Amino acid sequence: MNKLVIFSGTSSTKKEIVDQISTLLGDNLEISAYATDDDILYPISNSLVLVTSPLILDSVKPLIRENCKIIVARRTLNLSNLDKILYINPNENVLLVNDTYDTAIESIELLKNFGFDFINYTPYYPNSHIDTSNFKYAITPGEPHLVPHNIENVIDIGPRIIDITTIVEILSNLSMLNKKSHNISARYINKIISLSRELYTKNKNIKELNELLTRLINHIDDAIICFDGNLDMKFINNSARKLMQTEDYDDNLYKIKSFISNQKLIESILYLNGCEYIAIKELSYEPELSICILKNARERINIENKLRKEIKNRGYVAKYSFENIIHKSPVMKDLINISKKLSQSDFSILITGESGTGKELFASSIHNYSKRKNAPFLAINFASLPEEIIESELFGYEEGAFTGAKKGGKIGLFEIANGGTIFLDEIGDITPKIQLRLLRVLQEKEILKVGGSMPIPIDVRIIAATNKDLFTLVREGKFREDLYYRLKKLYIKLPPLRDRRDDILHLFNYFLDKKSEYPLEVSKEVKDILLSYNWPGNVRELENTVEYILAIIEDDVIKPHHLPEDLISTKRHCSLDDVEVFILKTIKDFNANRKIIGRKTLSELSFECGLNLSEQQIRSKLNILQQNGYIETSRGKVGIRLTSKANSII
């Protein structure tokens, strides 16, 4: 049996190296290993000794008899731990922490040789007196305890292992070279191959993602060109290639580069191939890149004009008043009363509610009930509008600010709405830049035109609406908290139609009366279906349903087959929860067997199927089911019965 004694600086290095050698050299070797702080009772004799660094050699030499052969290990990095470094951004400043200057420099050289040369390393070791306050990352080969405390991200790549030449030296001294070398080099190479494969897969994923992004960018109509810090072109998409591949290539490129290098400009108008382009600049610093996005100015002006026309066609007037809000439910009655009170103040209002619940109807009614009723009411829907258009539409722009297309600049919608109300629909969709500009309007009561420097005072009441959960957007960092609270000074939440079932038939009859040329009767089955449907599109969907029926009906009575497919399919009807379904099914079984069922039995049965409902819980569920028209109760022998509405879905 051959003996190998290992001396290492720390116990983690000891473990790593013992693991490595026993995996490679197998069981035919007796290994004893010591870290410098382990107690060594007897001097080492008649053995091969491996010390893991020259520094340790001095301290352990007195413990080694002269009949021992000493090898000082040459160390290399453990490839299995290096992949974490791939996630560091190129050119990031990183501390390389090791126990001495020499070992830190050695590790840096090794990392660079392995191809990790895209980051800037600074050697750090105890007493190195380096100001570490600007460093976010530290890499250390098994010495995390030496990393300064202020570093947020510590990548421990594990202690350095011994390299193949040291292994060969060990084998040769143990006279194992011939027997083992073939096997060992095969294992060593296998390990390297599997690690390279890992790195290859990671690189491949990044490459695939890059290809996907390139494909996407190539499909975009805007021309996109990316330059590095030396203004060398790094990327050009298909639209830009088409734009540039003309006789004017040099002239075009010169104009684009001049725009990119002009630090004062973020947007500009460029004349390329005789056409006007709006050039927008995006900068990245690590790596240093400038991206130029070129949009066809004519197309943008067309969209702007269309939007203006749409808003103008509405006549800047609020079409609806509270009398137009058709309702029967107490909850809507309360909301209208509250909204009338809110109309009298000048604070901004946030209206939330699912799509089609009447948010615009309320905004318009509030305006018409307020002292601003004779001033303009402007409604703008943010969904699907590009940021630049929203910005220039809302705030206007100074002459030559960017398009140069309009002499005298353009007046923004905020200025047009001055004295009145502006209704900002789908506010949850606006970008951070517009959020910031809106915040300024709310805080300072003034606007700044695009490209302008003089703030213009304005007096506009803002009513914003959204069907998104804005508070969640705030928590996710997608919507500014300060803007959220400014907008939500006053607040109205419109309930979905399925939560105010009293309104369903009332609204249905209202739309029917309004739109039908002759009176129509509504069959009982249709009424039941309308009442049990969950109306995801709310009042808008109800109104569309009436239109649909009127388009296809040929008789005087509306029957189920006159309804759109969505309403007849039973899936969309069950706004019932599991407990409600359980209660209804149980009552149905009892009804079918002509047995009476009450709260007590329902509660007992609920325990049998794991729902565990107290009599009190059953009572409140029964109340809800009764209010929603699913059950009827009567004193005496009959007890609780399902209505035809419940029977049609259970």
Residue 326 touches ligand ATP, criterion: CB under 6 A: yes
Q: In the complex, what is the shortest distance from the CB of residue 209 to ligand ATP, in angstroms, rounded to a whole number?
A: 35
Pairing of strands 410-411, 396-397: antiparallel
Interface pick for ligand ATP out of 325, 450, 473, 646 (rule CB under 6 A): 325
Contact window for ligand ATP (CB under 6 A) among 39-47, 190-198, 285-293, 356-364: 356-364
Q: Are 353 and 359 in contact (CB under 8 A)?
A: yes
Separation in Å, CA 566 to CA 498, 509, 522, 646: 15, 20, 18, 18
Q: In the complex, what is the shortest distance from the CB of residue 508 to ligand ATP, in angstroms, rounded to a whole number?
A: 11
Please give the single-letter amino acid code of residue 54: P
CB closer to ligand ATP, 369 vs 402: 369
CB closer to ligand ATP, 44 vs 363: 363
Residue 609's H or E segment, with its range, is none
Residue 540 touches ligand ATP, criterion: CB under 6 A: yes
Q: In the complex, what is the shortest distance from the CB of residue 506 to ligand ATP, in angstroms, rounded to a whole number?
A: 9
For 566, the token pair is: 């969505």
Q: Give me the sign of the Cα torsion angle 363, 369, 372, 376.
A: positive
Interface pick for ligand ATP out of 14, 359, 461, 621 (rule CB under 6 A): 359
Interface pick for ligand ATP out of 356, 376, 412, 428 (rule CB under 6 A): 356
Query: Roughly what angle, to the nearest 10 degrees, separates helices 578-592 and 615-627?
Result: 90
Q: In the complex, what is the shortest distance from the CB of residue 494 to ligand ATP, in angstroms, rounded to a whole number?
A: 7
Contact window for ligand ATP (CB under 6 A) among 258-266, 341-349, 353-361, 468-476: 353-361
Contact window for ligand ATP (CB under 6 A) among 114-122, 208-216, 288-296, 350-358: 350-358
Separation in Å, CA 52 to CA 36, 157, 191, 239: 11, 17, 22, 59
> Pattern 218-257, binding to ligand ATP, x per CB under 6 A?
----------------------------------------
Q: Give me the sign of the Cα torsion angle 87, 90, 94, 99.
A: positive
Interface pick for ligand ATP out of 14, 327, 501, 573 (rule CB under 6 A): 327
Segments of 198-259 assigned E as strands:
223-228, 233-236
Separation in Å, CA 73 to CA 162, 173, 186, 209, 267: 6, 13, 21, 42, 60
Residue 382 touches ligand ATP, criterion: CB under 6 A: no
CB closer to ligand ATP, 353 vs 376: 353
Cα–Cα–Cα angle for 154, 156, 157, nearest 5°? Answer: 140
Task: Name the 3-class secondary structure at 470.
Answer: helix
Q: In the complex, what is the shortest distance from the CB of residue 377 to ligand ATP, in angstroms, rounded to a whole number?
A: 13
Interface pick for ligand ATP out of 99, 360, 393, 580 (rule CB under 6 A): 360
Tell me the β-bridge partners of 94. Answer: 121, 137
> Pattern 543-572, binding to ligand ATP, x per CB under 6 A?
x-----------------------------
Please give the single-letter amino acid code of residue 288: E
34 Cα distance to chain centroid: 51
Residue 355 touches ligand ATP, criterion: CB under 6 A: yes
Residue 358 touches ligand ATP, criterion: CB under 6 A: yes
CB closer to ligand ATP, 464 vs 646: 464
Interface pick for ligand ATP out of 151, 161, 224, 361 (rule CB under 6 A): 361
Residue nearest to ligand ATP (CB): 358
CB closer to ligand ATP, 33 vs 361: 361
Task: Give me the numbers of helices (H) and strands (E) for the chain, helices first please.
Answer: 23, 28
Task: Name the 3-class secondary structure at 53.
Answer: coil
Query: Can you spell out the DSSP letters for 161-205?
Result: EE-HHHHHHHHHHTT-HHHHHHHHHHHHHHHHHHHHHHHHHHHHH
For 214, the token pair is: 């390139």
Rg (CA), the chain: 38
Q: Are 26 and 69 in contact (CB under 8 A)?
A: no
Q: In the complex, what is the shortest distance from the CB of residue 357 to ligand ATP, in angstroms, rounded to a whole number?
A: 4
For 500, the token pair is: 């105010």
Q: In the complex, what is the shortest distance from the CB of residue 314 to ligand ATP, in angstroms, rounded to a whole number?
A: 13
Please give the single-letter amino acid code of residue 294: L
Counting residues that bind ligand ATP (by CB under 6 A) gives 17
Interface pick for ligand ATP out of 123, 159, 353, 420 (rule CB under 6 A): 353
Residue 47 touches ligand ATP, criterion: CB under 6 A: no
Q: Are 433 and 391 in contact (CB under 8 A)?
A: yes
Residue 425 touches ligand ATP, criterion: CB under 6 A: yes
CB closer to ligand ATP, 85 vs 546: 546
> Pattern 386-415, binding to ligand ATP, x per CB under 6 A?
------------------------------
Sheet with strand 137-140: strands edge to edge: 120-124, 93-97, 137-140, 153-156
CB closer to ligand ATP, 160 vs 501: 501
Contact window for ligand ATP (CB under 6 A) among 21-29, 351-359, 479-487, 633-641: 351-359
Contact window for ligand ATP (CB under 6 A) among 119-127, 323-331, 335-343, 638-646: 323-331
Pairing of strands 557-558, 69-72: unpaired
Q: In the complex, what is the shortest distance from the CB of residue 504 to ligand ATP, in angstroms, rounded to a whole number?
A: 11
Separation in Å, CA 616 to CA 586, 602, 612: 17, 11, 11
Q: How many C-beta atoms lie closer than 10 Å to residue 70's C-beta?
A: 17
Please give the single-letter amino acid code of residue 536: P
Q: Are 368 and 321 in contact (CB under 8 A)?
A: yes
CB closer to ligand ATP, 102 vs 541: 541
CB closer to ligand ATP, 181 vs 381: 381
CB closer to ligand ATP, 358 vs 396: 358
Interface pick for ligand ATP out of 119, 401, 424, 539 (rule CB under 6 A): 539
CB closer to ligand ATP, 529 vs 539: 539
Residues of span 441-500 touching ligand ATP by CB under 6 A: 465, 467
Residue 465: what are its φ and ψ, rounded to 5°?
Answer: -140, 150
Residues that bind ligand ATP (CB under 6 A): 325-327, 353, 355-361, 425, 465, 467, 539-540, 543
